[in-house]
Structure 1
Amino acid sequence: MERKIIGLFALVALMVACNGKNKIEADILIVNGNVFDGVETMPQQVSIAVKDDKIVWIGDKNDKEVIATKTIDAKGLNVSPGFIDPHTHATNDLDDSEQSHNKPFLFQGVTTVTVGNDGSSPYPLAEYRDKCQEIGVGTNVVALVGHGTIRKQIMGESDREASKEELVKMQQLMQQELDAGAFGMSTGLFYAPGSYATTDEVVALAEVVAKNNGVYDTHMRDESTYSIGLIPAVQETIKIGERANIPVHISHIKCLGVDVWKQSDSIIKIVEEAQSKGIHVTANQYPYDASATSLKAAVVPRWAESGGKDSLFIRFQDAELREQILEQTQTNIARRGGPEKLLIIQAPDTLLQGKNLLEIAQDLKKKPEEAVFDILKQGYIKIASFNMNPYDIENFMVQPWVVTGSDGGSGHPRKYGTFPYKYREFVKEKNVLDLAFFINQSSSKTAKILKLSKRGILQEGNYADIIIFDPNAFMDKANYLDAFQFSEGLIYSIINGKLSIEEGEFTEKLNGRILKK
């Protein structure tokens, strides 16, 4: 009897071998592409089958018979995990039915964006999530809780230390937002009101996040010489991670302004020493030499804006305070490289756009520091500040703990071009990075930092967030004078198993999801 059973198994095996391949049913089959899985250093010649929202098979097309509704021939193209952007300012686009497609990021190959960075987040998160889900979103969305947002709810914009009672209330709000699905906490310690917080306050809130297995993302207290200095700001970040027992992630790491150029060597050493002690430290970086922020944040002394814009102009009318404000504003302009380095990229008066602060001051026949306050009376003014050194940009870029992040917001080309620009400039033209390293630090490494499950790597069982791009045509088109041009060369984008870009065109399908921790 036993021999008969063994013989039967042998017969079945022989029949399978004779009949050829096992069959797989799929919605999408990708064949003939140069496949980068997000982890390995070399591409593979494998096929990928997608069913529903998952990758169901990866392997040699000769080993399986795949019956697919749609087959994509990716010959001559690169196939990779969709890019994950750990730092964006897409918050207000995603809950707007006219903008929720998120095409500026989608055409870069981004399939997941993070919102709630720099200490500012939608509040309450539950309402924001519901609205986004109702209208639909073009990419996946990861949300963080903004420390500044929490602080405003309890303390307004006052420049003072939190009381014990206020700190408890902030911790309770932090827990509320984490329960609503946030992946962690962000700080904007350079900006008001985050700048008014002590390290102890930040640690107390980070401890709540740590208990929820979340992450800590920071725009540090200083990226230049505004207050405590760049290196002490890095040290404060590491101290927060150590005290709260939480992974810390430095957003848009940079050496901002001539005063701190070439300090990247010292920062890398500090980070590596912390990592050797078991402190989890990572960073993201955009590849441009100009930062972008509001004119007020860039040059106005933080103490002068305590209480908001109205309070700033009340102080400005006081003759004694006015002199002090103008003096410190002049210092901050110099720190940014001078008025000619501050380009207006967004303003209520569109005639200002494309002019630098020096040109505007000359038009007004005023000193640049005086012109600042004339301009600020109009409303929100955004600038591009050309104040970074190529040495530091490339030095950070090649570190294994630094990933790609756009910090993408209106007016700066990074919202439309970060990932293709980095590919074109630093992979193809300058050979600073190899292609696999660029892909890995734009996908799997970021997924690991954000603690995203089953995303960022092409492997069976993972969500099917996949992009296919032309290695010869993938490039940015946005620049500082025309920052609203979509990138080119992305042929396909598959998000949660569905086509969002097909043959280079948006499918009008909103396939993204609001992800929940």
Structure 2
Amino acid sequence: MKRVVFLFCAILLFLSCSKKKIEADILITKGTVYTGLSETPSMLDIAIKDDRIVFLGTVEEVQISTKKTIDASGKIVCPGFIDPHTHADRDLVNENTAHNKPFLFQGVTTVVVGNDGDSFYPTEDYSKLYNSHGIGTNAILLVGHGTVRDEVMGKSDRLPTEDELKKMEELVQQEMDAGVFGISTGLYYAPGSYSNTEEVVALSKIVANNNGIYDTHLRDESSFSVGLINAVKEAISIGRETGVPIHISHIKCLGKDVWGKSEEIIKLVEDARGEGIEVTANQYPYDASATSLKAAVVPRWAESGGLDSLFFRLQDPKLNKKILEETNTNIERRGGPSKLLIVKHPDSSIVGQNLDELALKFKMSSEESVYEILKNGNAKVVSFNMEKSDIHNFMTQQWVVTGSDGNMGHPRKYGSFPRKYAKYVKKDSIIGLATFINNSTYKTAQIFKVPERGAIKKGYYADVIVFDPDQFQDQATYSNAFELSSGLSHSIINGRIAVEEGTFTGMRNGKVLSKE
């Protein structure tokens, strides 16, 4: 009997000694793991060393020595979310807000910045700044078409000369060399709206030659100028002519003139993809958009040259009438003055009121009220102008990923990813949990050509989150847009813990990413 016991112990010792030894900084165990690659979850343990995932399996297979163990029992473990459209650079540039907590507590570990044609210039200076004072999430930088245009031409409503276009091409190449992942356009906004397709094609060819991406806020998401359908066609044509991958930012049907157009847009995109053009899109999970009051309703031609020029034109009786008429038309396109809610303005007394209420307060028409508001500073507005059926149609497309367009005053900056999970996965069952995770992680990484991120995979960077499936929820609302989301247990960025047991550790673990 003693020989049997001795032999049994010897076998156990042998098996123990024969197991592969792994040294780890962090071990995540007992969680339900979604890798970002599969539709099926697994009960896997994850070991992290330095900034990489070094083991993915079960702890019984190996002998792990770890400094810290995270018990993820009852929780979901998945790659950190990648937000393809934010304005987080406005926070990252300031050391006091560079923690990026509004995004961090959504489970976002990487943000794309420089969207809508508007980027900080030059990229090299801001990359150094972000890395010097530290940032809370990783950042992917784009160069803004409007920024480049403004550097060369100012805010003029005209096409560039041959020399000016060449200078813009040189600046785009300069920014690509500095590490941006591609170009963004805001063709709805000035000064991008003053360009034609040929100008955008010329700059996009530079991007294509540098293996970059074209991210676009379409020229029209409603019926303001060329119309939504023609704006989508323009984006596709740019991809066809240049070979650059096209990413449509916050795809939507904005305003009653284009409600129900989602099916037509989906067919356009599917046909283009069938043709071999890379077309994808992102979407935020809300029925209200947000932008500046000026961008929302002021005619583009009237603001050429800036606000001073706009108010100068308003003093001309003939132009005044034309500006007010077109402003009124734009207000109606967005659903009328009651649908335009002021969420940010230097005069806090008007914040939280809609344009209809302010027109009564000022004792003037809604279109005249716009310019009364703008006299005292630019305003941010939330515009309730989307239909549920269009939102659902876009959300279920495999080429549509999650994005926030996170900006001050709209709850999407603080709540997009948890809201999509809580409302559209758990409550309404519009998409499944794995689809939500995959389309918030690996697919986004593939679209932006981000190497070795967006998936839980051995050898990949350790950007990993843990959240409670019963508590992961947005808290920000239209009346209180600045509430951090709840339910995030842990966030690990580049192998270091940024959120632990739901609390920010104070560590800024992000970095400016480099493209392939």
TM interval, short-chain normalised:
over 0.9
Query: What residue in structure 2 maps to residue 61 of structure 1?
Result: 59
Query: What residue in structure 2 maps to residue 312 of structure 1?
Result: 310
Which residues in structure 2 correspond to 1:20-419 (within 5 Å)? 20-419=18-417
Shift of 1:60: 1.7
CA contact under 8 A between 1:206 and 1:244: conserved in structure 2?
yes
Aligned equivalents of 1:486, 1:329: Cα separation in 2? 35
The alignment partner of 2:216 has SS state of: strand
CA contact under 8 A between 1:116 and 1:143: conserved in structure 2?
yes
Task: Specify whether residues 509 and 326 from structure 1 end up closer, same or farther in structure 2 by C-alpha distance, changes over 3 A only.
Answer: same
What amino acid maps onto 2:280 in structure 1? T
Aligned equivalents of 2:205, 2:347: Cα separation in 1? 44
Aligned equivalents of 2:269, 2:306: Cα separation in 1? 35
What amino acid maps onto 1:445 in structure 2? K
Aligned equivalents of 1:14, 1:481: Cα separation in 2? 63
Aligned equivalents of 2:76, 2:110: Cα separation in 1? 19
Shift of 1:19: 3.4
CA contact under 8 A between 1:79 and 1:467: conserved in structure 2?
yes
Shift of 1:21: 2.1
The alignment partner of 2:43 has SS state of: coil
Q: How big is each residue's C-alpha offset from its partner over 1:449-486, in whole Å with a ceiling of 9 and x where there is no partner?
A: 01000000100000000000000000000000100000
Query: What residue in structure 2 maps to residue 6 of structure 1?
Result: none
Aligned equivalents of 1:233, 1:354: Cα separation in 2? 32
Shift of 1:15: 8.4
The alignment partner of 1:329 has SS state of: helix
Q: Are 2:502 and 1:504 aligned?
A: yes
The alignment partner of 2:68 has SS state of: strand
Query: What residue in structure 2 maps to residue 474 of structure 1?
Result: 472
The alignment partner of 1:62 has SS state of: helix
Aligned equivalents of 2:265, 2:335: Cα separation in 1? 22
Aligned equivalents of 2:492, 2:91: Cα separation in 1? 21
Q: How big is each residue's C-alpha offset from its partner over 1:403-453, in whole Å with a ceiling of 9 and x where there is no partner?
A: 000000110000000000110000110011110000000000000001000
TM (norm. structure 2) is: 0.97
CA contact under 8 A between 1:136 and 1:510: conserved in structure 2?
yes
RMSD: 1.0
Aligned equivalents of 2:121, 2:187: Cα separation in 1? 19
What amino acid maps onto 1:78 in structure 2? I
What amino acid maps onto 1:269 in structure 2? K
Aligned equivalents of 2:14, 2:174: Cα separation in 1? 56
Aligned equivalents of 2:71, 2:16: Cα separation in 1? 28
What amino acid maps onto 1:298 in structure 2? A
Number of equivalenced pairs:
505
CA contact under 8 A between 1:343 and 1:355: conserved in structure 2?
yes
Aligned equivalents of 2:69, 2:12: Cα separation in 1? 30
Give 4+ residue runs of structure 1 displaced > 6 Å after superposition: none
CA contact under 8 A between 1:86 and 1:446: conserved in structure 2?
yes
The alignment partner of 1:345 has SS state of: strand
Aligned equivalents of 2:245, 2:257: Cα separation in 1? 29
Aligned equivalents of 2:196, 2:500: Cα separation in 1? 49
CA contact under 8 A between 1:95 and 1:135: conserved in structure 2?
no
Aligned equivalents of 1:75, 1:20: Cα separation in 2? 29
Q: How big is each residue's C-alpha offset from its partner over 1:63-116, in whole Å with a ceiling of 9 and x where there is no partner?
A: 111110001110100000000000001112101110000000000000000100
Shift of 1:220: 0.5
Aligned equivalents of 1:275, 1:134: Cα separation in 2? 41
Shift of 1:327: 0.4
Q: Are 2:432 and 1:429 aligned?
A: no
Q: How big is each residue's C-alpha offset from its partner over 1:320-363, in whole Å with a ceiling of 9 and x where there is no partner?
A: 00000000000000000000000000000011110000000001
Aligned equivalents of 2:495, 2:485: Cα separation in 1? 22
Aligned equivalents of 1:510, 1:17: Cα separation in 2? 41
CA contact under 8 A between 1:151 and 1:194: conserved in structure 2?
yes
Q: How big is each residue's C-alpha offset from its partner over 1:370-410, in whole Å with a ceiling of 9 and x where there is no partner?
A: 11000011111000000000000010001000000000011
Instruction: Provide structure 2 residue ranges, at least 5 long, that are not aligned to the other structure.
Output: 1-10
What amino acid maps onto 1:83 in structure 2? F
What amino acid maps onto 2:147 in structure 1? T
The alignment partner of 2:257 has SS state of: helix
Instruction: Provide structure 1 residue ranges, at least 5 long, that are not aligned to the other structure.
Output: 1-12
Aligned equivalents of 2:27, 2:229: Cα separation in 1? 49
CA contact under 8 A between 1:223 and 1:229: conserved in structure 2?
yes
Aligned equivalents of 2:483, 2:445: Cα separation in 1? 27
The alignment partner of 1:30 has SS state of: strand
Aligned equivalents of 1:79, 1:64: Cα separation in 2? 20
Query: What residue in structure 2 maps to residue 452 of structure 1?
Result: 450
Shift of 1:16: 5.4
Query: What residue in structure 2 maps to residue 513 of structure 1?
Result: 511
Shift of 1:17: 3.8
CA contact under 8 A between 1:31 and 1:48: conserved in structure 2?
yes
Task: Specify whether residues 76 and 14 from structure 1 end up closer, same or farther in structure 2 by C-alpha distance, changes over 3 A only.
Answer: closer
Aligned equivalents of 1:386, 1:367: Cα separation in 2? 20
What amino acid maps onto 1:398 in structure 2? T
Q: Are 2:437 and 1:443 aligned?
A: no
Query: What residue in structure 2 maps to residue 5 of structure 1?
Result: none
CA contact under 8 A between 1:342 and 1:356: conserved in structure 2?
yes
What amino acid maps onto 1:303 in structure 2? W
Shift of 1:179: 0.8
The alignment partner of 2:60 has SS state of: coil
Shift of 1:124: 0.6
Query: What residue in structure 2 maps to residue 10 of structure 1?
Result: none
Aligned equivalents of 2:514, 2:145: Cα separation in 1? 19
Q: How big is each residue's C-alpha offset from its partner over 1:216-255, in whole Å with a ceiling of 9 and x where there is no partner?
A: 0000000000000000000000000111111000000000
Q: How big is each residue's C-alpha offset from its partner over 1:187-223, in whole Å with a ceiling of 9 and x where there is no partner?
A: 0000000000010000000000000000000000000
The alignment partner of 1:258 has SS state of: coil
Query: What residue in structure 1 maps to residue 7 of structure 2?
Result: none
The alignment partner of 1:282 has SS state of: strand
Aligned equivalents of 1:338, 1:481: Cα separation in 2? 20
Aligned equivalents of 2:300, 2:379: Cα separation in 1? 16
Identity %: 59
TM (norm. structure 1) is: 0.97
